[in-house]
Amino acid sequence: MKTVSFFSTCLTDTVLPDVSRDSVLLLEKLGCRVVFNPKQTCCGQPLANSGFQQKAKKAMELQMEALLEDEADYVVCPSGSCTLQVKEYPNFFEDQPDLLEKAERLSEKIYELTDFIVNILQQTDLSASLKAKAAYHPSCHMTRLLDVKEPPLALLKQVAGLELVDFKGQDKCCGFGGTFSVKLGPLSGAMAAEKVENIREAGAEYLIGADAGCLMNLQGVIERRGYPIKVRHIAQVLMAS
């Protein structure tokens, strides 16, 4: 049995706890033993992406401690963007050998949820079902920088009743960008609005993604505009039956 240390991320811990819950249940359903180390907080990306790398390092060190402490076989995270940040920890500790070693160990252990299910657990058919037309948003960090493109699609293709629709500008950024969304709100909002309109135009009843930040961003527009599009993280879809 594989032991997984679950990295919830601050966003799904507090704002979208159902995403983390379903991710854990999914991993257990697939035969993993899941541990959650409560010392964990946030990967530090909001600070690092704003330039405050030194101020982010305390959080990075804390995640290294929390996620390595249980000596699990793997660390799994339901967000491509936060996974990317942890994967890049070694870049921040190049001149601190003891921490660099930890950073590298964690960087090797961590997997984004769908990548882990498809490439490590080697499963795609999770006997989930959702009878609906859905649009999938391939988030930027996950696809472009973490290079996890196919796994979520491989999993969604096996969901009974689910029809995936393509939409205009599908691979474009949703405008979230972490602190970008609050620093330049109107620009970020304009980017999100275009994405939502394209999803709506494609006739999608559901919007599915693998990054809570993007989903929260797009959901904000969907709610503001009163559109009947339901927003789901892929873990929630894979646990639906």
Partner 1 sequence: MTIKTSDLPLKERLQKELGNPQMRKAIANAQDLLNGKREAAFEELGDFEQWRETAGTIRSHVLENLDYYLTQFADKASAAGAQVYFAEDASQAAGYGLEILQKRKAVKAVKSKSMVTEEIGLNEMLEEAGIEVIETDLGEYLLQIDDHDKPSHIVVPALHKNRDHFRRVLAEKKGYKGDNVPENMTRFVRQLIRKEFLEADVGITGCNFAVAETGTVTLVTNEGNGRFVTTAPKTQVVFLGMERIVPTFAELDIIFSMLARSAVGAKLTSYMSLMTGPKAPEDKDGPEELHIIIVDNGRSRVLESDFREVLRCIRCGTCMLECPAYRHISGHGYGTLYPGPLGLALVPVLAGYDDYKEITKICSLCGACNEVCPVKIPLYEFIFEHRRIIAEEGNLTPAGEKILMGRYGDVIGSSALYGLATKAARFSSFAPKVGPLKQWSIDRDLPKIPKTRFRDWFAARKKNGGVK
- The footprint of partner 1 (CB under 8 A) covers 8, 10, 12-18, 20-21, 24-25, 36, 38-42, 44, 46-47, 49-56, 58-59, 61-62, 66, 140-141, 144-145, 172-173, 175-194, 216-217, 219-221, 223-224
Nearer to partner 1, 162 or 208 (CB): 208
The closest alpha carbon to 220, from 196, 237, 202, 200, belongs to 196
Minimum CB separation of residue 29 from partner 1 in Å reads 11
Query: What's the min distance (Å) between Cβ of 192 and partner 1?
Result: 7
Which residue's structure tokens are 């609050």?
182
Q: Where does the chain have alpha helices with state H?
A: 10-14, 17-29, 45-49, 53-69, 80-87, 89-92, 97-109, 113-115, 140, 150-157, 180-183, 185-201, 212-225, 234-238
Residue closer to partner 1 by CB (options 42, 237) is 42
Q: Using the minimum distance from each CB to partner 1, give the nearer residue, 52 or 201.
A: 52
CB of 92 or CB of 116, closer to partner 1: 92
Q: In the sheet where 33-35 sits, what is the strand order?
A: 33-35, 3-6, 74-77, 110-112
User: In the complex, what is the shortest distance from the CB of residue 122 to partner 1, in angstroms, rounded to a whole number?
Assistant: 25
Min CB(201)–partner 1 separation in Å = 14
Q: Which residues pair with 232 in a beta bridge?
A: 208
